[in-house]
Structure 1
């Protein structure tokens, strides 16, 4: 979709990063409203950006963890359409999670929970590896040339 003939286009890269980040948070918000929303009295940004909410000791914490993992799987699908190249999937996935780390740092301080780090590094790995796999499958598809042949 966004891949062009020009090798270095910083505006394209910024547009891809912004689109991927927005789609990631839209997906995360949708999944959290489905999984976490019924369990809490009021949704807030704390469930997105506060490291203390990512915990394995409560059912709500497990729902938050599941939301993060499911959004990383959906994010891998976004990589296929936005980035379109397997070799760029790790870069864009890492960018999404580095921006997320920065927002979490601004929101609630440096994440000191080991659970938060394990969840986010695992989600980064899932998004990057699944995105690379899906992009490679798309890149290796056969090019249909039958419709370009003339009937002689």
Structure 2
């Protein structure tokens, strides 16, 4: 598809958002299981959606923070394969974190922790900038040209 001939397809956009959100939470769950699950007796949704779990006061809180940052890095990789252009990275990253904010509000109320806002803002920036970097690297690759010489 040529870059100027992009057709607006809302079903594709919704499918990409849902897929990216699911992959993000699966990856976050994997990192939380590895980093936090070894430290606590029972895993729960608190570590996903409660702002109080994101804290710098405990080692478990730092493990939650690391899980969120690593999931954002993985999210950039997912965007690289799911989204077509670098120009859409900010849109999809912001949508992912806005949906996460809404789920957190429903689960535990308005996040009043500065640490939660800093970590999610950092996650948004990491996901967007790393995703754009990956797209730009792909777009700057040389186009291979095969030279075919007729057999003489």
TM-score by length of 2: 0.93
Deviating beyond 2 angstroms after TM superposition, the runs of 4 or more aligned structure 1 residues are: none
**Residue 145 of structure 1: how far off its partner (Å):** 2.3
- 1:13 maps to 2:16: no
**Residue 150 of structure 1: how far off its partner (Å):** 3.8
- SS across alignment from 1:129: helix
User: 2:120 aligns to what?
Assistant: 120
- 1:36 maps to 2:12: no
Rg larger in structure? 2
- SS across alignment from 1:141: coil
**Residues 27-73 of structure 1 deviation map (CA, whole Å, 9 limit, x = unaligned):** 00000000000100000000000000000000000000000000001
User: 1:86 aligns to what?
Assistant: 86
- 1:74 maps to 2:74: yes
User: 2:47 aligns to what?
Assistant: 47
Distance 2:20 2:148 in 1: 41
CA contact (8 A) 1:36 1:64 kept: yes
CA contact (8 A) 1:85 1:136 kept: no
User: 1:56 aligns to what?
Assistant: 56
CA-based RMSD of the aligned residues comes to 1.3
5+ residue gaps, structure 1: none
**Residue 151 of structure 1: how far off its partner (Å):** 3.1
5+ residue gaps, structure 2: none
User: 1:111 aligns to what?
Assistant: 111
State the aligned residue count. Answer: 147
